[in-house]
Amino acid sequence: MTHPISIQEFKEKLKNLISNSSKITNPKVKDSLIRKLNFISNNHFSKPGKPNFDKIKADTEVAFQRAIYNGITTQLQNESEIVKWIDIEVPVVLSENRRRPCIDIIGSNKDKLVLCELKFKKKSNPSDTPYYAVFELLIYYYFVRCNYENLDEFNVFHDLATTKNFKWEKYLKNSTPQLIVTANDSYWEYYLKRKDYKMELSKAIEELENVLNIKVQLFKTKNENFDIQKQKGENETYCPKVTSNIWTEI
């Protein structure tokens, strides 16, 4: 599938969808999404440093992200769809700003690129709703479309065995990436327990897909007790791992 609409048209339509969304009720949250969409890339070359995968202290979303990557592959419901993970926290703009937009994790599903936004609920209630996560992912996809040639030119990704010979253009020139929002089971239980939430979410995503002519998928994973994994070690740091690499579509 080739990119269906122009970059500028995609941006304007996405901006309107965010501005008019009845599901993002907090004006400050809407403003933060619009500001992120309008983030200006200044072509400042800055290659990200190598992340730590096996000696971390975190036991929340950072651990979730590292554990998925450490698992090497993920099975999407059926054996025919296997995602091989390529990189994490991947910058999608050229900027000296340390808080520049980054995709949580990217992978490949056969010859298709996978862009994935992650959410994780531990004990406290999550601050980002599924609607926010979907909009955030679409913003990152927009930036990838805008900047992939420059990102390739300056190799703006981590130096890992999995990124050897990686080029955005290889995937993006002739096809649209697979866009996925993934969260642990507790995250989805928190939101989907409300009556009609799933139906409303599905309807909102369908509207986005029709306007932008792009598909967004939602997946859930098994809950992982990273705090217990952390406690088992003798050191303050540990290597997070997933106990299941199967994701189920919501």
Of 91, 129, 123, the closest CA to residue 218 belongs to 129
Q: What is the pLDDT of residues 93-124, one digit of tens each?
A: 888 777 788 999 999 998 899 999 999 998 88
The CA dihedral of 219, 171, 146, 90, to the nearest 10 degrees, is 60
Q: What is the pLDDT of residues 66-88, one digit of tens each?
A: 999 999 999 998 667 999 999 99
Q: Residue written as tokens 């866009």?
A: 179
Of 172, 43, 27, the closest CA to residue 100 belongs to 43
Q: Residue 48's pLDDT is what?
A: 83
Q: What is the pLDDT of residues 215-250, one digit of tens each?
A: 999 999 999 999 888 887 778 899 999 999 999 999
Q: What is the pLDDT of residues 27-70, one digit of tens each?
A: 999 999 999 999 877 777 777 888 999 999 999 999 999 999 99
pTM across the whole model: 0.93
